[in-house]
A and B are shown apart, each in its own frame.
Chain A
Amino acid sequence: MMPSLFSLAHPLSAFQVWFVVYVYLLPLLLYAAWASLSLMDLMESNEASWPMLVFVMLVPLVGGAWYLLRRARILSRSARVATVVTGTVVWLVPLLVAIWLVGRPLGPKALS
């Protein structure tokens, strides 16, 4: 049986699932959500330009977030801010906890 792209280590732990979901999968979803909302706004506002499209698509997360917060016109401001801020918080809080967990020195002997 071929493993899936997310085949899990053994024994599986809550920590591993947490890291995979919040640190790996969630940013991909945020990128897709922010970029698609930005594109929708760009098209409907008739202000679409190639540089803006390229920026939103090719600068992951930052492009979409910047557009939604600073340039979007069609979507309501409260919806845009909620989308970006909520997504950022949901991503960054677990990420910061994760960094705190693994960012401490592993120990002088580490894996040697």
Chain B
Amino acid sequence: MRCVVALLAVTSAVAGCARHTAEPSGTVLVAMADNTFSPSIVRVPVGGSVVFHNAGRSVHNAVAIDNSWSTERTFGNISIPPEGMTEVVFPTAGVYRFYCTFHGTPDGKAGMVGVIVVGDVQYTPPAGNRGVLAVVDRPSGVTRHVPAEYPSIQSAVDAADPGDLILVDKGVYAEGVFVTTPSLTIRGVDRNAVVLDGQFSLGTGIMVAANGVAIENMTARNFTLNGFYWTGVSGFRGSYLTAYNNGDYGIYGFGATNGVFEHSYASGSPDSAFYIGQCYPCKVVIDDVTGAYSGLGYSGTNSGGDMYIVRSRFVHNRSGISTTTFDIELYPPGRDTTIVGNLITDSGLENEAAGFYATETLAGNGIALVGTHANLVANNYIARSRNNGVLVLPLLDRHYWPSTRHVVRDNTVVSSGRADLAAGGFGTLGNCFAGNRYRTSLPWGLEVLNACHGLRVPIASDLAGDMMFFGSIAQVFAGRFTVLDYRTRPAPPPQPNMPGGPQAPVIPAVHPFEDHKLELDSILTPRESS
């Protein structure tokens, strides 16, 4: 079937098979890392499916604690080897807890365990052994000190009540923390000296599955998956965080809405430094962050709707910013993302960023809008992209996703290797370009012929670019690419501490999107010296 779709896409200019509506595809990916499921809590519609992919180096599996299903039945073997995958369909609504028989407990409570919620079933992750706790929007006034009162961050989190402040003193903490208590604030006393270290064996620095949790002023490094990770929550905030040399994402929100990432730095992630996925409307602001030396500076898949990336820097990545659509996650297509006032330089220019095979297919682009809709790209400064400064391109997954209705205006795009502005692919129509400072475009006259006001002709894409994209995919499949090991990327320089430090006001992240005042009109195009 996939070949048929590919044949249609490659040989036909007919885009009638494209989908423009937000229909959940019903398939969700769960990565099996060493040794955790990521994400560990997922929701699929009735009749939907979960694709389990072994992204680790050990064998894994997934088995329901009631034995109603297992990956053994679909994969044909109890052990799924690295890079193996299998799809499990869930025809009945319910909550399905599961575990890896090698690395989790059969009761689904410890180790490599997870939960699949099927259909419109109410599910709230339990807060340890205390049941479901309510979100509070005011601080409790209680401060729990680590390690003075609690030997580990996890023990303090487990003891905390909603609204508490977990204050972490200087030190290196070799632990991964799982948060299920809502409205906590987890704060380091010194951003550069409070370090969670995964030692390249632990999965995620801090994983949050509770609403309203803020993490502030600390560093996570050397985790095999993510630095800081919120999943399936409403209300989240990451402020003054540093995440580097983590094996998947740096600072990461998945299926999470109403959140803010601000004043943070992430680098050395083979996938993306910052990621927002599977949400609509997201209500997320990424403001004043730096993403560097990663496969992607920012990546957003199937995300959008009040989704803002502003005043940030994405430098020395394989690609700077990418918005994409994939059938493998819910809520396609990605759409309605606003990218304003960012500095994006040296994308794919030097082979100094971490990466993995998938990032190589789109390497060398400053901003890539791939299979998404109606993004606003304005007042960005984009320099020295190896291939394209701004690229608009369709994406072929299980469906063919054209890239349409984007507005690209008032950007400064310079020194791109192939074209400053580029649009490619079948069905790449309805995008507009205006007021950009640039020198080259593909196809020629892209901005003149596709203005935001006035002339708009259907000469709007360069199919050769598409073919080269397919060629890049083939090259990746042939294994002819090299990426750098994330574990070897340089540590970032010391980063600014949060104003007020330990004494800063405690504000549970219940509605940070509304609290974060954003005036887009006041955001100017940055200069490279900034």
| Chain A residues within 8 Å of B, Cβ to Cβ | 1-3, 5-10, 13, 15-20, 23-24, 27, 95, 98-112
Contacts and interface: CB of A to CB of B under 8 A. Distances in A.
A24 B480 contact: no
B442 A7 contact: yes
B3 interface: yes
Given A10-B417, A95-B10, A102-B473, A112 B467 contact: no
Contacts, number: 141
B470 A112 contact: no
A112 B301 contact: yes
Interface of A is mostly: loop
B470 A3 contact: no
A23 B465 CA distance: 12
Interface string B27-54: 0010100000000000000000001010
A102 B3 CA distance: 9
A13 B468 CA distance: 9
A5 B440 CA distance: 11
A3 B3 contact: no
15 contacts: A9-B471, A10-B386, A16-B472, A19-B468, A19-B474, A95-B10, A98-B470, A99-B7, A99-B10, A101-B474, A108-B85, A109-B356, A112-B299, A112-B301, A112-B326
Contacts of A17: 471
B472 A109 contact: no
A23 B358 contact: no
A65 B472 CA distance: 31
B269 to A, nearest CB: 12
B478 interface: yes
A102 B477 contact: yes
A6 B51 CA distance: 38
B361 A111 contact: yes
B85 A112 contact: no
A18 B277 CA distance: 34
Given A15-B478, A101-B477, A9 B418 contact: yes
B275 interface: yes
A20 B468 contact: yes
Interface string B240-266: 000000000000000000000000000
Contacts of B51: 108
Given A8-B468, A13-B471, A110-B397, 17 more contacts: A5-B462, A7-B442, A16-B467, A16-B475, A19-B468, A20-B468, A27-B11, A99-B6, A103-B6, A107-B53, A108-B29, A109-B55, A109-B358, A110-B326, A110-B328, A111-B301, A111-B361
Interface string B469-496: 0111111011010000000000000000
A112 B6 CA distance: 20
Given A15-B472, A98-B10, A9 B53 contact: no
A64 B387 CA distance: 37
B474 A102 contact: yes
A10, A18, A109 interface centre (most CB from chain B within 10 Å): A109
A20 B467 contact: yes
B188 interface: no
Contact of B357 (A9, A101, A107): A107
Contact of B473 (A8, A106, A109): A106
B440 A2 contact: yes
A19 B470 contact: yes
A9 B358 contact: no
B3 A99 contact: yes
A10 B364 CA distance: 8
B466 to A, nearest CB: 8
B130 interface: no
A23 B473 contact: no
Given A101-B473, A109-B271, A23 B10 contact: yes
A24 B386 contact: no
Interface string B82-109: 0001000000000000000000000000
Contacts of B232: none
A85 to B, nearest CB: 18
A1 B185 CA distance: 54
A16 to B, nearest CB: 3
Nearest to B481: A13
Contacts of B475: 13, 15-16
Interface in B300-337: 301, 322, 324, 326, 328-329
Contacts of A23: 10, 467, 470
A23 B464 CA distance: 9
Given A108-B29, A110-B397, A19 B299 contact: no
B2 interface: yes
B471 A2 contact: no
Contacts of B471: 9, 13, 15-20
A109 B301 CA distance: 10
A49 B133 CA distance: 79
B444 A5 contact: yes
B524 interface: no
A95 B11 CA distance: 9
A5 B442 contact: yes
Given A107-B357, A108-B53, A111-B361, A102 B387 contact: no
